[in-house]
Structures are given as C-alpha cells and as structure tokens.
Amino acid sequence: MTADAPLAEIHHAHRDVGGGWLRPAAFGVMDGLVSNFALVAGVVGGGAEPRTVLVTGLAGLAAGACSMATGEYTSVSSQNELTRAEIDKERLELERNPDGELRELTLIYEAKGVTPALAADVARELTADPDVAWRVHVREELGVDPDDLPSPWTAAGSSFLAFTLGALIPLLPFLLGAATLLPALVASAAGLLLAGGLIARLTARPAWFGGGRQLLLGGLSAAVTFGIGLLVGTGVA
C-alpha cells in the first residue's frame, strides 16, 4: 500500500454498534413473535374459538408493544441519567483536583503500554483544554462517549415497532380466517427462521445458526404454553 493511496482504499467502515436501536429491535421482534405465538398456542390449547384467539392475540400485541417501549425508554433514560451524573462528578473532580486527575490519566495510558514519559506528555496535552479534558476522562474512566449516548426515544420506537411486527406473524392466519393452530405454527416457524437468520447476519454469525436457535427456543416456548392451556382447559371443562 502506497503512502498516497486514497483514503477510501486504506480505511474500512464500521457498522453502528452503539446507536441504541439494534438490541431493542432484535429483542422486540423476537419477544413479540415468541410471546404472542406462545400466547396463541396456549389459548388454542385451552379450547378457545378462533375469534377469542384473535382478540387475545391482538390484546397481547398491544400490551406487549406498549410494555416493551415503556421499559426500553425507562431503561435507556435511567442509564443516561446515571452516566450524566458520573460525568458531572468527573468534571467536578477536574476542577477540584486537576493534578490528581492528571496523574490518574497518566497511569491509565501507562497501563495500556505507553512509556511513563510519553504517557505524561499525552495526558498533559489532552487536559490542556478543559472542554477536551473531561471528555477524555469520561471515555477512559467510564468507557462511554459523552457525545454519543443512546437515545431513549430510538430505543422505545425500535422496540415498539419490532414487537408489533413480530407479534403480528402468528396472528396473520387468524386474521385471514384460519380456524386451527397449524397455519399460525407454520407462519411463526418461518418468521423465527427468517428473523433469527437476519439478526445473525447483522452480527456476523451464520444465518442457519441464528434461525435454528430462534426456531428451537420459540418452539419450546409455544409447546410449554400449549401444554399448560391443554391441561387447564381440560380441567376447567
């Protein structure tokens, strides 16, 4: 590679791993699909009529999507509030004890393999500007980027939409007039394979591994609730 090579040839792009959308989206679509498929299976196992199954599934979709969005918003907001509190503490320490914080940053760089003299020079250079100093300390000590905290709205919206999409899959056959669990079983199995495979590809894992794993876990969940519904329905009858 030559020194005058274009930047596009020597720099490789990375995917966004900290935007706050992938985890809630992946969790949401799987939770929606598995939980609603399991709910539908349990209700069918209990002997419910198709209309009752559909109403129960739609209620589960609405309740689950709202619950997921609320939980994600609260979780990310709380994490950000804790992070900002620690940032404020770090900025206060830099004002009260700049020499101590300088030594701390120097030791951090030494622990990473930088020679003591160079570590001290780097620490001094980075802390010369107060606006840069606290950001450097936050990144090195807390391991977070203060300028790129995850958005609670992004997490909540991703979770809500993903859960809704996943939860609709086992309901589609009933919306189209199905009277048995078999069409929902086929649709849910296909959805689990597809969603698991796509998520696996996003995380650089084999599609067959992600799809198979989700199919196995989702199938076990539905089998458990179907069995419980069957037992309870028989007992009530």
- 1 is a domain residue: no
pLDDT in tens, 101-148: 999 999 999 999 999 999 999 999 988 888 888 999 899 888 888 888
* pLDDT tier, 8 (very low <50, low <70, confident <90, very high otherwise): very low
- 176 is a domain residue: yes
- 60 is a domain residue: yes
pLDDT of residue 237 exceeding 60: no
Count of domains observed in the chain: 1
- 117 is a domain residue: no
Determine the pLDDT at residue 17: 47
Higher pLDDT, 182 or 8: 182
* pLDDT tier, 12 (very low <50, low <70, confident <90, very high otherwise): very low
- 175 is a domain residue: yes
pTM attached to this predicted model: 0.77
- 144 is a domain residue: no
Show the DSSP H helices in the chain as ranges: 7-10, 22-45, 50-96, 98-111, 116-126, 130-137, 152-168, 172-175, 182-202, 207-236
| Residue ranges making up the domain that contains 35 | 21-84+153-236
- 203 is a domain residue: yes
- 11 is a domain residue: no
